[in-house]
Amino acid sequence: MSQARSVGVIERFRDRLPFGPTDPVVTLGEGGTPLVLAERLSERVGAEVHLKLEGTNPTGSFKDRGMTCAVSAAVREGAQAVICASTGNTAASAAAYAAKAGLRGAVIVPDGKIATGKLAQALVHGARVIALRGNFDTALELVRELAARHPIALVNSVNEFRLEGQKTAAFELLEDLDGRLDALCIPVGNAGNITAYWKGFVEAGAAPRLFGFQAAGAAPLVNGAPVKDPETVASAIRIGNPARWEEAIDAMRASRGAIRAVTDDEILSAYRLLAATEGVFCEPASAASVAGLLKYGADGAERIACVLTGHGLKDPDVALEQVGAVVPCEPQLRAIERAVLG
């Protein structure tokens, strides 16, 4: 596995991806992420629950699996620049892979609504970061028009190569669990990832039930209608009109699954539980998968995987709001003793 991790998903799964042996590959060694048995959570749920730690990808989220494919394909096609709209993680990933490929990168993000770590990543990788006075849905509409008019590769999950890359997580799950998985719990925003997982499972001949979770204030797929002003603490999934709407509904139906809503309180409670009892620090959006499992169960599934899509370090502001204060201390032994043992 350690060897597989370093080669990246294109090299590892090339026979199942749209890349030939001589095609250029832009990789940062994505994929091969840990699958960890969550003992406390398993006890609570009464089933075997595993966590897929996608936050351990090179830029800290699952987006890297798709981005290696989208940017490699862009290089193959002779693109000079890549662009995306993003709630943050796609921007961070696009910026890093563009830097690696020597392409220019531009990312459009909702002004003031992306987590600090993601903003830092996009900027430090040298992308042009455009803060739109509007939400993600507006940004995606505009960027699709822009990409239609200019020779810039669009690397949002409307790009098929993104889904191709992201389906590799389903292959890894099946490998790690010897093909036996009953249910997958996954956060849903723009609905590219749930679509990609289902594609991967179908191609591998598996059919776990897919349970997707949206934040209650940004739950168009649950409501059955777009949400004009989506709002949630889980900024990554603050999306009111998912681009992969039909595909997500198809995946849910075909797998006999469901797409349901979890409140911000439920998300944050799962977020703290994962950190404090499983040793896993994910970002708020990722915790929606576990929040949903705790709230709704998994309908008798015995073996469940929850996808933790992004790393907790992405969003230090939410983290610090959720925890106790530090303990101040004078630099003397007595004071330290009191502070540590008291």
**Local structure of 242: helix, strand or coil:** coil
31 lines the binding site for ligand AN7 (CB under 6 A): no
Nearest approach in angstroms of CB 234 to ligand AN7 is 8
241 lines the binding site for ligand AN7 (CB under 6 A): no
Nearest approach in angstroms of CB 20 to ligand AN7 is 27
Site residues (CB under 6 A) for ligand AN7, limited to 309-338: 309-310
Nearest approach in angstroms of CB 192 to ligand AN7 is 4
How, if at all, do strands 35-37 and 48-53 pair? Answer: antiparallel
192 lines the binding site for ligand AN7 (CB under 6 A): yes
Rounded CA-CA distance 284/236 in Å is: 8
88 lines the binding site for ligand AN7 (CB under 6 A): yes
157 lines the binding site for ligand AN7 (CB under 6 A): yes
Nearest approach in angstroms of CB 80 to ligand AN7 is 22
257 lines the binding site for ligand AN7 (CB under 6 A): no
Rounded CA-CA distance 101/204 in Å is: 31
CB 167 within 8 Å of CB 200: yes
Q: Between residues 50 and 311, which has the closer beta carbon with respect to ligand AN7?
A: 311
Q: What angle do CA 140, 199, 33 make, to 5 degrees?
A: 85
200 lines the binding site for ligand AN7 (CB under 6 A): no
60 lines the binding site for ligand AN7 (CB under 6 A): no
**Local structure of 48: helix, strand or coil:** strand
Strand order in the sheet with 303-308: 35-37, 48-53, 303-308, 183-187, 209-215, 258-262
Complete DSSP assignment for 83-135: EEE-SSHHHHHHHHHHHHHT-EEEEEEETT-S-HHHHHHHHHTTPEEEEESS-
Q: Between residues 17 and 91, which has the closer beta carbon with respect to ligand AN7?
A: 91
Nearest approach in angstroms of CB 225 to ligand AN7 is 18
75 lines the binding site for ligand AN7 (CB under 6 A): no
Nearest approach in angstroms of CB 286 to ligand AN7 is 5
Going from the C-alpha of 150 to that of each of 18, 82, 83, 108, 153, the distances in angstroms are: 25, 11, 11, 16, 9
122 lines the binding site for ligand AN7 (CB under 6 A): no
Nearest approach in angstroms of CB 145 to ligand AN7 is 17
Best CA proximity match to 59, nearest among 117, 12, 4: 117
Task: Candidates 57, 86, 159, 241: give the one binding ligand AN7 (CB under 6 A).
Answer: 86
CB 71 within 8 Å of CB 24: no
Which positions touch ligand AN7 (CB under 6 A)?
61, 86-90, 157, 187-193, 236-237, 283, 285-286, 309-310
